[in-house]
Amino acid sequence: MVANLFRFIPHEERFFELLNQSATNVREGADALLDFMENYIDVQRKARRLKDIEHAGDEMTHEIFGALNRTFITPLDREDISELAEALDDVLDWTEDVSRRMYIYKIDKPTELAVRFARVIAEQAIVIEQMVPLLVNTKRRATIEKSKAEVHRLENEADELLGEALGTLYDNATDVASLASAIRWGDIYQMLEGATDKAEHVATVIQNIVVKHA
């Protein structure tokens, strides 16, 4: 009798698939930002492309939460699934915001530091895309901890970039125009570093899930 009732309890087998898709979308967003920085042409179209990727990420997050509302039994704890979905979405939000602000600010061209930031984000996104599928087998703790350490190393690299950026940001701000430019770049650098923080949070959430279930 209990077994028969169990068959009618709502199950959702697509959580891992949806999370994998979300992680891939984050990597695509990071790649798009890197292209935006390294090949700074057709800026409006590329910023719109990043917005489209961010919007797709929102839809994936909504789909995950909808599945949580429909499902009684989930492969991971509900709060873990929701936290990971939101963390992945946050990376995209901050990544897209960088391109949007650069377009709004009418930035002539990216600085070398901005390009280096984008490379760090792209590298983090590759690692994250590799980490999320490992949640299917929570026994892969050593692999996930190694990946988490790499994302953390990259975030530390971004911290150093931010320090380098802010340390000289106002050195050439000798008039109103150059001061305005410095303020805008300060904002952009903070957003770029914030995106690396969000990426590290994703890796931390994944590690915590594995520790809980291993």
Report the distance separating Cα 72 and Cα 78, nearest Å: 10
Nearest to 61 by CA among 202, 212, 204: 202
pLDDT score at 57: 96
Enumerate domains of the chain plus CATH numbers: 13-213 (1.20.58.220)
Report the distance separating Cα 84 and Cα 174, nearest Å: 45
Nearest to 121 by CA among 9, 32, 16: 32
Half-sphere exposure (Cβ direction) of 43: Cα atoms closer than 13 Å = 15
Query: What does the mean pLDDT of the chain come to?
Result: 91
Q: What is the mean pLDDT of residues 196-210?
A: 96
pLDDT score at 13: 58
Q: What is the mean pLDDT of residues 19-29?
A: 97
pLDDT tens-digit series, residues 41-95:
999 999 999 999 999 999 999 999 998 888 878 888 899 999 999 999 999 999 9
Indicate the pLDDT class of residue 14, thresholds 50, 70 and 90: confident
pLDDT higher than threshold 50 for residue 6: no
pLDDT higher than threshold 80 for residue 31: yes
pLDDT score at 139: 73
Q: What is the mean pLDDT of residues 13-35?
A: 94
pLDDT score at 33: 98
Report the distance separating Cα 12 and Cα 138, nearest Å: 19
CB 163 within 8 A of CB 205: no
pLDDT tens-digit series, residues 95-118:
999 999 999 999 999 999 999 999
pLDDT score at 1: 40
pLDDT score at 12: 55
pLDDT score at 118: 98
